[in-house]
Structure 1
């Protein structure tokens, strides 16, 4: 059974076995820092971003076990080593800037290398808290583990409100996708130090669907914030909704996005953004009956995707009131601000290479998103990679092996 180690004031250190004197020295330094922090707790005003709250081992496997684990999830990749994975709860910022906590997955390779490059993987749309990478759902945990299986340190943010994060998830909110992802990197550095490892400062970023958007948001944050201590080496974003106002919203109403997927995305996004921007005072202003009575409860983090889908109508026009159908196509006021705040993930000029993976037949996130993102990035470092006529879910399966190979060319694992 997994055990939980909390970073808190205590009468003595947790009893653990460390593999080297270097690791022991790292732990002693951290414990001393913790004691100093404990002595000054009454003076603290705000928690430090990335401060570790707790660490829970969730997976430990040999090379052979790791290979079998990835094979079970239909992930074909060469496996060089075993892995150790941890659920990490850490301090970060809420949409209003207040202190909060989030959780994420940190996976370390079982290798002799002390200094490790890092891969950050951002997951796609999920509606239930326990579907997050650090929780019990395995798909995104396996996708994160594949990078550690060849020697990288790998991290996967749950984002706010998922996993063990409190409250509701601010779905597709770029500012907090960026902050939660960046603060997990800070926390992961501390976890690695506890295990006698350190990050070499090189960062590779990838993500799928909502995670494609989150990956670009993190990459922009890292490029603009050298104080994070990471140098961006490459970005591989798969099927991300980078252009909510110009592509996703109109495509949801004109049929380019399949109606069922469009209904899910619209309802999830509106209920999440309403908590931040106050788009409506009562659900009936945005949603038609009988859905107005239950739509917010469907996205409480406890319903699965089937429950949510069967509780919503078949088409966006059955879901939205005429006023909100119009706002989707011509946003004003807080609706415009909500879209604008999350449409900036590609508004920067990268120095590292960026690949935007798409499918021409994607009926959930149209390829036009990547075209807009590519145009916004500018320069000669970004490119669009067409994966062919496959559906949305197939894009990540097709892209990941190539991304792993490309990352190995950019920054080989030790």
Structure 2
């Protein structure tokens, strides 16, 4: 089968993988919708609260030669393209972090073929508010789904690529960065809308479902896998998933950051996470609780303004001390609610992560692997990318993750 042979062959081209094959790395998260009351009898998955298809718009149709040209800088990858693809923008219903119904969007990539195909949910990496046009539904040359993911679709996957809340149709809303429940629910509702679209358009689906994503997309992929198996197993069965470089152990990650004595290059992203949790979990403390001056005032005016690299210079000592001593109950609860490392997946799952990642440290994947194995998960693999940092490992992840899922195609 072309999937197995070629993808495993491509995995050896690690020297090529620094070419931008789609990924905009960084982590991301959000808050959970209000829980539905459980049925009084035997436990069942809750009824879907979103995922109704609202509209579909054809963006374009692209032949194999066009798709291959988008990855021409990487030898052999273009040879994977087997079918033309049609790309659609879907809008669909989902719920925001406050439980309100909203309209979200995403891209759906559909191979032009009569055979039944699997669904693949692709969760994108971090998109800064100033780069909103990189969201999948815009299908621009700067979006992750435009190049390698489109070639992947052309091999025979129907790719569902959610924008997440805060981009595309919901761009007027703040993106709940690194909030696991809403990243998962927006992605699951996009899958529901994709399935409805396929039924209406008589696109044949088989029963296989794959999950991919790197950085914030890796975190979202892990959260989605967990949500499907725990809450939507009557709708979808995960065939295999391959999250990459996600911040799965938020509680440990927060302490790692606040305890750091060395300069950290990505404090702006961590500030975004903290501000998201402060808002989403209704903690609503003034920024002076978290940040020293002048940064508290500066971040109040522009949440994405520059901050120093030294943790002690940015964060107040009282905040750092309280979290490290487990005395900040509201924030500790928020971190714990976004821990997605300690559960037992049923489907095959491969954790990819660069061992030299100084953005989302490797221990996030190591901790997930250890916890899952301890719970008896037998189909979990840890795939270290030796010497890779968050950015250099992204290309390696792309090919090796494709190779992993291709075993189950």
TM over 0.5: yes
CA contact (8 A) 2:323 2:332 kept: no
Q: What is the alpha-carbon distance in structure 1 between the residues aligned to residue 262 and residue 390 of structure 2?
A: 11
Task: State how 1:38-77 maps to structure 2 within 5 Å.
Answer: 49-71=50-72, 76-77=77-78
Task: State how 1:353-368 maps to structure 2 within 5 Å.
Answer: 353-368=348-363
Moved more, 400-409 or 311-320: 311-320
Secondary structure of 2:220 counterpart:
helix
Residues 229-283 of structure 1 show CA distances to partners (whole Å, capped at 9, x for unaligned) of 222111111111000111x22332454986121x122210111111112334322
Q: 1:176 and 1:297, CA in 2 relative to 1: closer, same or farther beyond 3 A?
A: farther
Q: What is the alpha-carbon distance in structure 2 between the residues aligned to residue 410 and residue 244 of structure 1?
A: 30
Q: What is the alpha-carbon distance in structure 1 between the residues aligned to residue 301 and residue 203 of structure 2?
A: 43
Moved more, 149-158 or 272-281: 272-281
Figure out how many residues of one structure are paired with residues of the other and give that number. Answer: 353
Q: Which residue of 2 aligns with 1:334?
A: 330
CA contact (8 A) 1:267 1:295 kept: no
Give how far 1:222 is off.
1.5
CA contact (8 A) 2:268 2:306 kept: no
CA contact (8 A) 1:360 1:389 kept: yes
Q: What is the alpha-carbon distance in structure 1 between the residues aligned to residue 191 and residue 263 of structure 2?
A: 35
Q: 1:382 and 1:62, CA in 2 relative to 1: closer, same or farther beyond 3 A?
A: same
Q: Which residue of 1 aligns with 2:89?
A: 87
Task: State how 1:9-408 maps to structure 2 within 5 Å.
Answer: 49-71=50-72, 76-77=77-78, 78-113=80-115, 115-128=116-129, 129-135=132-138, 136=140, 138-142=142-146, 143-165=148-170, 166-226=172-232, 229-246=235-252, 248-255=253-260, 259-261=264-266, 263-296=267-300, 298-299=302-303, 308=304, 311-331=306-326, 332-343=328-339, 345-378=340-373, 379-408=377-406
Give how far 1:163 is off.
2.5
Secondary structure of 2:103 counterpart:
strand
Secondary structure of 1:231 counterpart:
coil
Q: 1:363 and 1:112, CA in 2 relative to 1: closer, same or farther beyond 3 A?
A: same
Q: What is the alpha-carbon distance in structure 2 between the residues aligned to residue 258 and residue 102 of structure 1?
A: 37
Q: What is the alpha-carbon distance in structure 2 between the residues aligned to residue 337 and residue 243 of structure 1?
A: 13
CA contact (8 A) 2:263 2:311 kept: no
Q: 1:56 and 1:371, CA in 2 relative to 1: closer, same or farther beyond 3 A?
A: same
Q: What is the alpha-carbon distance in structure 2 between the residues aligned to residue 404 and residue 272 of structure 1?
A: 32
Give how far 1:156 is off.
1.5
Q: What is the alpha-carbon distance in structure 1 between the residues aligned to residue 286 and residue 241 of structure 2?
A: 40
Give how far 1:79 is off.
1.2
CA contact (8 A) 2:259 2:324 kept: no
Q: What is the alpha-carbon distance in structure 2 between the residues aligned to residue 212 and residue 48 of structure 1?
A: 24
CA contact (8 A) 1:201 1:229 kept: no
Q: What is the alpha-carbon distance in structure 1 between the residues aligned to residue 153 and residue 356 of structure 2?
A: 31
Q: What is the alpha-carbon distance in structure 2 between the residues aligned to residue 210 and residue 167 of structure 1?
A: 18
Give the root-mean-square deviation of aligned CA atoms: 2.4
Moved more, 143-152 or 117-126: 143-152
CA contact (8 A) 2:242 2:401 kept: yes
Q: What is the alpha-carbon distance in structure 2 between the residues aligned to residue 75 and residue 180 of structure 1?
A: 34
Gaps in structure 1 of 5+ consecutive residues: 1-45, 300-307
Moved more, 73-82 or 396-405: 73-82
Give how far 1:319 is off.
2.1
User: What is the TM-score with the length of structure 2 in the denominator?
Assistant: 0.80
